[in-house]
Amino acid sequence: MNKKAYYILEDGTEFEGTIFGHVGETIGEAVFNTSMSGYQEVLTDPSYRGQIVAMTYPMIGNYGINEEDVESSKVQVAGFVVKEYCKHHSNFRATSSLDEYLKKEKITAIEGIDTRKLTRHIRNKGAMRAGIFLSREGALEKLKSSPNMEGLDLASEVSCDKKYTFGEKSGEKINIAVYDFGVKTNILRLLNKSGFNITVYPAKTPLKEAIDDGAKGIFLSNGPGDPDAVEYAKKLVQDIAAEKIPCFGICLGHQLLSLGLGGSTYKLKFGHRGGNQPVKNLSSGSVEITSQNHGFSVDMASLEGNSDIEITHINLNDNTVEGIKHKTLPIFSVQYHPEAAPGPNDSTYLFGQFRELVERSI
């Protein structure tokens, strides 16, 4: 039996639809993703913690869910919004339907929403608090009493509780430390494939512990929330710079590196989320089509006065900062996701670039 539900934004905008997945109510930040596939990777990406994700592609669920294409151990989104849920999936790798998966993970989703209208509204008005509700009564009051994304340290919520190793260790590989602010599994796969022995550390681990364990390079992962609220990471970045140890950051890791090196960040109006963002490499002049998922950006003006930092990549849609490097230290980062999952693989060369940087420092 279809159960009526409402997707309500904090400015009072309402959409009526039908519940699928877990029958309940949920609140989060309203965002949209423009990827045509990869909904399972989106659902399990820790960078979506605290967000209700609307997919702009009109039919979702057609290839079901499998046990391999996950980016963390559970569904991370606060809720899920689609135009049409495909009730009959077809794929030889599928082990369950999307509906069954969301029920198991206790995640509420809504279908029958005009996602084109919703996306235009978010683009015009900006990301805002929203909720999936079974009743309109009291919904706006619940939204207005819920926290805003700005000022939230969500990285500490999704980080691992204790350090662990990923992949098989080898004497021919180089030891690195991955700081987990919400790391995606495909990042770990590609780092391992690039020739690294990987130990993953909780976000608040002192750098000395990683170095004492034999780390020759540091990786700062993606993650959710406001980078400015992850205050403990600024000290980590300053220690990395003082030790002159090679470091590579992706997404939140890029923002944290920038903050630790003297830059600042700000909240984007509606963020970049999808698998089709054009990024220009300022060194080569080439353009990469990239996968992205972020609601905050590094302030270009805060870096332009820093003689130690070079901006290496920019977003061709809005000219925001997409990559930086330190001019004298072995430190670089990108705002986008070279590991894709979902999205194009134009930027996987960056993992090899990190490997070369670490090798030169040994």
Looking at residue 237, what DSSP letter applies? Answer: H
DSSP string of 196-233?
EEEEEEETT--HHHHHHTT-S-EEE----S-GGG-THH
- How deeply is 199 buried, as exposed, middle or buried, from its count of CB atoms within 10 A (0-12, 13-18, 19+)? buried
Contacts of 144 (CB under 8 A, 6+ apart): 10, 129
Closest alpha carbon to 123 in 21, 54, 169? 54
Catalytic residue among 251, 288, 294, 326: 251
DSSP run (H or E) holding 27: strand 26-33
Closest alpha carbon to 112 in 33, 1, 6, 36? 6
Question: CA angle at residue 352 from 299 to 332, to 5 degrees?
Answer: 20
Our answer to whether residue 339 is catalytic in this structure is yes
- How deeply is 3 buried, as exposed, middle or buried, from its count of CB atoms within 10 A (0-12, 13-18, 19+)? exposed
**Are 118 and 6 spatial neighbours (Cβ–Cβ below 8 Å)?**
no
Our answer to whether residue 111 is catalytic in this structure is no
Contacts of 101 (CB under 8 A, 6+ apart): 21, 40, 65, 75
CA gap 48, 105 in Å, rounded: 15
Our answer to whether residue 121 is catalytic in this structure is no
> Which residues are the active-site residues?
251, 337, 339
